[in-house]
Amino acid sequence: MPAKELRIGLIGGGRIGKLHGRNINTSVPGAKVVCLAETMLNDGHKAWVDETGIPKATKDPADIMNDKNIDAVFICSPTDTHADFIIQAARNGKHIFCEKPIHTDMQKIKEALVEVEKAAVKLQIGFVRRFDHNHKKVHDTVASGVLGKPHIVKITSRDPEGPPLDYIAVSGGIFMDMTIHDFDMARYLAGSEVIEVMAYGAINIDPGYKKYGDVDTAVVMLKFENGAIGLIDNSRAAHYGYDQRTEVHCDKGCVQVANDLNDTSVISTGDGVFCEKPTWFFLERYNNAFIAEAIDFVDAVSNNKKPPVDGKDGMMAVYIAMSANKSLKEHRPVMLSELTKLFININSYIL
């Protein structure tokens, strides 16, 4: 056990921020949240920090950045603030856990990653699904090599219900907001970089998406460097729960995982056979995965290890999402290199 407990500043007190805060203080040994910074701080936040055993709450993130006793930050604020908080934290020598996506502006991402590199702090991106027991088993099986080279990577990812349309207005679009998780999952499962993307989209659920140039149903094909082909299908509204299945078909066979269900019951009557639905949404399905990623972050910082999901992982998922957007708009397959070469001169960082 590390001699010293990791002291964490939490930036953002929304749903995901509270989730991480509670997890750290109840289920992550060797770490404590010591301050919440939330620009819209209200009485609800104050009650929550009391309950959760967080001794301080502030409206000003600088209170965290400037506190010498804080070792690391969890960035759970809106996406367009991520890069700046990463830069500030890095410059203050703090280790960083940042929610996905790292940012939607590639130039900002690169600037942030350069600062992280300079400061030699740890950066972990919140691709929580990598820590799910099911998807991890698919990854581990493929990575072990027992099935040989991957041929086909399949990801089904459907939300139970679409968000309100005013969220869609600012979401960055389905690929940057929702499929971004699947793009990371695809790289994780294939063990290889994506080199090309072809996207189909449709508005099947709510005509309101049209106004925002967005789609509610999407299918994406991916080509990987190692010769594998990827397939992702998304829906904003599956209705029956959170549909999160992955599958990799390899040289010697196939590994696949089904959804976790609410329970294993089977009720058989003359009217039919009734089984349980998948767990409702990400809070239910990825509950343990959120704890596991925080534990791994604390372990990476405390024991000077490479974080399991790093800045390059965060950046690559954004490149794929940008390529998918371009493919959908231009109705053609898009090579990732068309985009990566545009950003090649920004700095010396990856790609």
The footprint of a second copy on residues 229-248 (CB under 8 A) is 229, 231, 233, 235, 238-241, 243
Name every residue whose Cβ is closer than 8 Å to that of residue 70 and which is 6 or more positions away in sequence: 7, 8, 9, 34, 35, 64, 94
Burial environment of residue 83 by CB neighbours within 10 A (0 to 12, 13 to 18, 19 or more): buried
Considering beta carbons, is residue 102 or 147 the nearer one to a second copy?
A: 147
Any idea which residue has 């594998």 for tokens?
228
Considering beta carbons, is residue 29 or 93 the nearer one to a second copy?
A: 29
210 binds a second copy (CB under 8 A): no
Q: Shortest CA distance to 126 belongs to which of 219, 19, 8, 241?
A: 19
> Which residue from 73, 75, 186, 228 is in contact with a second copy, where contact means CB under 8 A?
228
The footprint of a second copy on residues 318-337 (CB under 8 A) is 331-333
> Which residue from 92, 124, 134, 157 is in contact with a second copy, where contact means CB under 8 A?
134
> Which residue from 114, 195, 198, 351 is in contact with a second copy, where contact means CB under 8 A?
198
Q: Name the strand (E) or helix (H) holding 32.
A: strand 31-37
Q: Are 205 and 217 in contact (CB under 8 A)?
A: yes
Amino acid at 7: R
Name every residue whose Cβ is closer than 8 Å to that of residue 282 and which is 6 or more positions away in sequence: 128, 242
202 binds a second copy (CB under 8 A): yes
Q: Are 190 and 230 in contact (CB under 8 A)?
A: yes
> Which residue from 133, 211, 329, 341 is in contact with a second copy, where contact means CB under 8 A?
133
Contact set with a second copy (CB under 8 A): 26-27, 29, 51, 133-134, 136-138, 141, 147, 149, 151-152, 154, 156, 158, 198, 200, 202-205, 217, 219, 221, 223, 227-229, 231, 233, 235, 238-241, 243, 249, 251-260, 262-270, 272-278, 331-333
